Chain A
Amino acid sequence: MTYRDRGGPLAGVRVLAVAKVWAGPYAAKLLAQLGAEIVKVESTSALDEMRAYGGVDIEHAPYFLSQNTEALSVRVDLKCEDGIAQLKKMIAVSDIVLDNLRPGALDKLGLSFEAMQAIKPDIIHVSIKMYGSEGPLGYQTGYAPSFAAIGGLTSLVGHEDRVPRGMNIRYGDTTAGAVAAFGAIAALHHRERTGEGQQVDLSAVEAISGLVGDSLFAFGLTGEPPVHRGNAHDELSPHGFFPTRDNGWISIACDGGGEWHALANELGAENLADDPQFATHEDRVANRAALEAELGKLTHTLDCAELACRLRARGVAAWPAASTVDLMSDDLFWSNETFRMVINGNGDARPVIGSSWRIEPGGAELERGAPMLGEHDDYVYRELLGLDEDEYEALKASGAIS
């Protein structure tokens, strides 16, 4: 194979992804969705855990296949000198090295940022670590819910008067990956302007703090510690989730008295609209619990989606809380390519989650799904690195390519 120009704003940018599990590969996925070429470094002896997670067949692993859209896979055994030598050659022809290995892992291979610069002076090294690559707590490691707890998110998500339990346990890796992708593109701009590469040393914990930055800033401003408050809102009322038929929940947010009255009318609750304890915005905020209880009595027998439509027709923002069935059965997400089909390296067609953006003209083609292990060995070793047949075969025989 030769280089495939998929278009997209990052066409021509090559990312060497020494990245596993989730945050790193997600950053690579976003860059691929913008047209960058992703060369994913893998080996049989140190597989991406996602190839083993949820199954036994590494070419049909559900998580891996859901993730590595348009990534190219090259095998390199980083446990041997010959393998590391090949990785260095790959760095020499890349724009970005994306790494989310454990702190210090690349250094141990002789691939500190300085060493990478010696190979390619304008290289951009995007490093994703839980707490950053160095510093007093830089040695600590963890998973997404660890980032969320340390970064201050978990303590701000919970039902009132209960121990905060945070976002769903899966939340956090993708946010860190997205922040990494943004840093990578900023570094490309700097290089474009000055010719200079750099290291982008990301702390996943700080990426999570970016989701609660408004609360952190407000604390510095007022000295009042922020706390978890369910779905409370000081400026919108009512504002929350209300029960509907069959264990459904509808999100409703009203901005001002007009919308509040429209809501009450649509629910046939003129008595609530006229109730003095809910008369002004301040009243509705002060008596929030009573208001929510009254509304819940009215909504819990209604169909969630129908009610949401009726309320939106009255100018009240209302949507059902979507389950996986709801998400999958919404035609809008299929028609606008939020969900889209790709062809995996293993030959199967598979629906995957696409990008949050549509870019025109010149958006990136997204046609291929996750690669088979080593599917692009030929392309990388022959085309990119220019190895001749003897060298290539020798590396395979020695296990450096395995």
Chain B
Amino acid sequence: MNALSGITIVETAERVCGEWAGRLLADFGAEVIKLERPGGSPTRRYGPHVDGKGAVFAYCNTNKKSVVVDLEGETGRDTLEKLLERADALIDDHDPQWCARVGLDPAALRERHLRLVHCQITPFGQQAPDDHHRAWPINVAAAGGWAWHTPSESDDADPPLMGAGRFMPDFESGLDAAIAIAASLLRQRRMGQGQCIDLSEVAVQISRADVVLGRVLAGDDEPSHSRRRYDMGGPGDVFACADGFVHLVMMTSAQWQGLKDIMGNPDWAEEFPQDWLEFHCTPDRVTSFRDQFRPWIALQKRNEVSKAAQAKGVPLVPGNSAEDLLANEQYRHRGYFQSLEGLAYPTAAYRMTASPVRLNRTAPAPDADRDEVFP
């Protein structure tokens, strides 16, 4: 038994954002019934493929059940209706035109299923103009502002970056969808009524910018086309070291003293006022610091130097790779990766004393659970 045991969710979503929302809820014990079109979910195409199975589908669809249903046909829509009669929530991520065609228009659906929590994920929300309802994650990262400002200290000549991998905005959108759905399901438990959740992927990106964009919005900082409007100033950056890279942030004189100590108090550091980070953090000083810090840090090993820094209260940390994380002692201690059929799956970011996340089943083959779903 888990936090969402006993809750049934129908997933008509066919993009990573919707599938990720479904997985987050399935991880807490909800029964998530994934409807796949004939031929399988479009996300099955995303590689790498091993033994004919796509990694992205395998990752986003653990703990779910699959039935193949053709929503373009009447029989399929009848099947969906039957499932919705016993469902608590529906996750969809199609455009409004498609939804209207297959009977998933939010208003119409609400008339038929008053108790249903219906989450509709679209790039810009339901109110957006017709040409805004189809966007890929790179477009979402672009429209939401993070790409323009990534990496920090971008030059105009360098292309913006959409983030890690192909789907990062989708994982953020799926998370917000899962938050809203879980909250609405709590209300459903208490009131017996459903709600329509209209989730905008670009608004998720904007929400994540929170105070940084918020102060510009309110006129406390000037809006501009600068690529550096989200930057923090200060010497914080990635630095190459002997076996990879580290990330250093420094904001206080105590941190500066700590760093000087682990560097053995070199002469060049004495040119900096003790409180330069708080009160004299000019671009020239930042450049000068970085230039003189680089040769020293280049010779250090990331884990050793990070450990020494932490002991002095300096937020200097190792840049980890996938391989590092699978071997990371803290991740192992907390059980971040769970194993299914010999494969390591990243799971939830929390240890919970009463209802921990459990992976129970691998992602289904198309239609694998027909008999279980329709006994």
Q: With the chains together, A222 CA to B54 CA distance in Å?
A: 11
User: Is B360 interfacial (CB-CB < 8 Å)?
Assistant: no
In the bound complex, do residue A132 and residue B334 qualify as a contact, i.e. CB atoms below 8 Å apart?
yes
**Knowing A165-B152, A168-B149, A215-B164 touch, does A152 contact B320 (C-beta < 8 A)?**
yes
A366 at the interface (CB under 8 A from B): no
Residues 320-369 of B contacting A (Cβ, < 8 Å): 320-326, 328-331, 333-334, 336-337, 343-346, 348-355
Known: A138-B330, A355-B207. A201 touches B350 (CB 8 A): yes
Q: How far apart are the CA atoms of A56 and B189 in the complex, in Å?
A: 46
Q: Is A43 an interface residue (CB 8 A)?
A: no
Contacts of A67 in B (CB 8 A): 210-211, 214
Q: A154: which of B138, B187, B319, B333 is its contact (CB, 8 Å)?
A: B319
A136 to B125, CA, bound (A): 44
Q: A66-B218, A323-B148, A325-B223 are known contacts. Are A192 and B159 too (CB-CB below 8 A)?
A: no
- Contact code string A221-236 (vs B, CB < 8 Å = 1, else 0): 1101110101101111
Rounded to whole Å, the gap between the CB of B160 and the closest CB of chain A is 5
Whether the pair A201, B351 counts as a contact (CB closer than 8 A) is yes
Residues of chain A lying within 8 A (CB to CB) of residue B50: 221-222
Per-residue A-contact encoding for B194-233, CB less than 8 Å = 1, 0 else: 0111111111101111111111111011011111011110
Q: Check A218/B55 contact, CB under 8 A, given A63-B215, A66-B215, A357-B197.
A: yes
Give chain B residues whose Cβ lies under 8 Å from the Cβ of A212. 164-165, 168, 322
Question: What chain A residues lie within 8 Å of B195 (beta carbons)?
Answer: 9, 359-363
Q: Say whether, besides A240-B138, A253-B136, A135 and B245 are in contact (CB < 8 Å).
A: no
Of residues 336 to 368 in A, which have CB atoms within 8 Å of B's CB atoms?
336, 338-339, 350-363
- Contact partner of A163 (CB less than 8 A), chosen from B135, B164, B178, B238, is B238
Known interface pairs A9-B186, A170-B230, A217-B345; A179-B175 also in contact (CB < 8 Å): yes
- Digitize A192-229: 1 where CB-to-B-CB distance is under 8 Å, 0 elsewhere: 11101111111111110111111111111110111010
Question: In the complex, what residues of A have CB within 8 A of residue B143's CB?
Answer: 251, 319-320, 322
Given known A54-B215, A174-B210, A178-B176, contact A149–B142 (CB-CB < 8 A): no
Contacts of B218 in A (CB 8 A): 62, 65-66, 350-352
For A11, the chain B residues whose CB sits under 8 A away are 187
Which residues on A sit within 8 Å (CB–CB) of B214? 62-63, 65-67, 352-353
Residue in A30, A209, A231, A362 whose beta carbon sits within 8 Å of that of B138 in the complex: A231
Give the top 6 A-B pairs by smallest Cβ distance, nearest first: A66-B214, A198-B354, A62-B220, A149-B247, A206-B349, A251-B142
Decide if B128 is an interface residue (CB 8 Å cutoff): yes
Contact A157 B150 (CB under 8 A): yes
A215–B46 alpha-carbon span in the complex (Å): 12
Q: What is the chain A residue whose CB lies nearest that of B234?
A: A169
Are the CB atoms of A214 and B165 closer together than 8 Å? yes
Of the candidate stretches B2-10, B31-39, B257-265, B285-293, the one touching chain A is: B2-10
CB contacts (< 8 Å) of A159 on chain B: these are 158-159, 161
* Binding site secondary structure of chain B: mixed
Answer yes or no: A401 CB below 8 A from chain B CBs. Answer: no
Q: Give the residues in chain A near B276, CB-CB below 8 Å.
A: none
* B84 touches A (CB below 8 Å): no
- Which of A270-278, A327-335, A385-393 is found at the contact surface with chain B? A327-335
Q: Does A260 contact B (CB under 8 A)?
A: no
Whole-angstrom distance between the alpha carbons of A205 and B324 in the complex? 13
> Does A318 contact B139, Cβ atoms closer than 8 Å?
yes
Q: Is the CB of A353 within 8 A of B180?
A: no
Q: List 19 A-B contacts (CB under 8 A).
A: A62-B214, A67-B210, A155-B245, A164-B238, A169-B230, A178-B176, A186-B3, A193-B6, A211-B171, A216-B322, A216-B346, A219-B326, A251-B139, A251-B147, A251-B160, A320-B143, A353-B210, A357-B198, A358-B198
State how many angstroms separate the Cβ of B49 from the closest Cβ of chain A: 9
Measured CA separation A113–B354 after assembly (Å): 13
Q: Which of A29, A154, A236 contacts B136 (CB 8 A)?
A: A236
CA distance in complex: A239, B166 (Å)? 10
Inter-chain contact B156/A328, CB cutoff 8 Å: no
B79 at the interface (CB under 8 A from A): no
- B167: contacting residue among A150, A155, A214, A360, CB under 8 A: A214
CA distance A235 to B137 in the complex (A): 13
Cβ–Cβ < 8 Å partners of B22 in chain A: none
Instruction: Please tell me if the beta carbons of A324 and B147 are within 8 angstroms of each other in the complex.
Output: no
The chain B residues found within 8 Å of chain A, CB to CB, are: 1-6, 24, 28, 45-48, 50, 55-56, 58-60, 124-129, 131-132, 134-136, 138-139, 141-152, 156, 158-168, 171-173, 175-180, 182-187, 189-190, 193, 195-204, 206-218, 220-221, 223-227, 229-232, 236-238, 240, 244-247, 249, 310, 313, 315, 317-326, 328-331, 333-334, 336-337, 343-346, 348-355
List A contacts of B217 (CB < 8 A): 66, 328, 339, 351-353
Chain B contacts of A313 at CB under 8 A? 131
Contacts of B227 in A (CB 8 A): 323
A residues 3-30 touching B (CB-CB < 8 Å): 8-11, 22, 26, 29-30
Chain B's closest residue to A127 (CB) is B350
Q: Is the CB of A165 within 8 A of B176?
A: no
What residues on B are CB-neighbors of A356 within 8 Å? Answer: 173, 176, 199-201, 203-204, 206-207
Tell me, rounded to whole Å, the shortest Cβ–Cβ distance linking A56 to chain B.
Answer: 13
Q: Are A189 and B28 in contact (CB under 8 A)?
A: yes
A165 touches B237 (CB 8 A): yes
Say whether B184 contacts A132, CB under 8 Å: no
A319 touches B139 (CB 8 A): yes
Q: Mark A157-185, 1 if CB is under 8 A from B, else 0.
A: 11100011111111101111011111101
Which residues from B are CB-within-8-Å of A354?
203, 207
Could you tell me the distance between the alpha carbons of A333 and B208 in the complex, rounded to whole angstroms? 15
